[in-house]
């Protein structure tokens, strides 16, 4: 258990160092946000099941979101691992903590699989999927998104994560 924690800690520290170097070497650019409409002027929908918000931000914000997501999950997982290993906590609470750790791992794997599926299906340079409870946010690196592309992303998300289109937000970042 201690060895896993040491490896995990070293991995996270390495990630922080690499991303710090990346941010230090990047020029300062303020993120921009604007609403993008499709050809009809309507919001993109999944056959009337839900709306997709489409926004544009720069790529630096994309990297920051990924880092923030990883840090939040790491902190949560660390707290759960502490609770799971604490002998002062009841066996039931330790079991619940282990179950939550397993669920976080499963969700992370599903998110990674969905990212790979979306990249393969549409040929995007990069994809970020963030599932938070029943809500899922999908961000892709693309110049623009059409209603058909948003619909396909929503269908892939629904298939992989089992959430309705109403709970899926699709956005894109440009370089």
- List pLDDT tens digits, range 83-120: 888 888 888 888 888 889 888 888 888 888 998 999 88
- Separation CA 124–CA 116 (nearest Å): 10
pLDDT of 39 strictly over 60: no
Extents of the domains making up the chain = 2-174
Q: List, in sequence order, the alpha helices (H) in 26-171.
A: 59-85, 91-122, 147-161
Q: Which CATH number fits domain 2-174: 3.90.245.10, 1.10.287.4300, 1.10.3720.10, 1.20.120.1200?
A: 1.10.287.4300
Average pLDDT of span 28-35: 47
**Comparing C-alpha atoms, which of 72, 155, 62 is closest to residue 114?**
155
* 45-67 pLDDT tens trace: 444 444 444 444 455 666 777 78
Q: What is the pLDDT of residue 65?
A: 79
pTM over 0.85? The answer is no
């Amino acid at each position: 258990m201690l060895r896993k924690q040491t490896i995990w800690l070293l991995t996270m520290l390495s990630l922080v160092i690499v991303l710090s170097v990346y941010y230090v070497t990047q020029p300062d650019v303020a993120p921009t946000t604007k609403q993008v409409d499709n050809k009809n002027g309507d919001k993109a929908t999944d056959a009337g099941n839900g709306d997709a918000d489409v926004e544009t931000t720069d790529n630096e914000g994309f990297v920051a979101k990924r880092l923030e997501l990883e840090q939040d999950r790491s902190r949560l997982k660390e707290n759960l691992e502490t609770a799971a290993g604490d002998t002062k906590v009841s066996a039931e609470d330790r079991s619940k903590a282990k179950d939550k750790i397993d669920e976080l791992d499963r969700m992370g794997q599903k998110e990674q699989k969905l990212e790979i599926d979306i990249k393969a299906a549409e040929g995007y340079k990069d994809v970020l999927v963030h599932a938070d409870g029943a809500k899922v946010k999908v961000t892709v690196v693309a110049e623009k998104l059409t209603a058909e592309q948003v619909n396909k992303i929503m269908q892939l998300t629904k298939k992989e994560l089992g959430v309705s289109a109403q709970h899926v937000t699709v956005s894109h970042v440009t370089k």
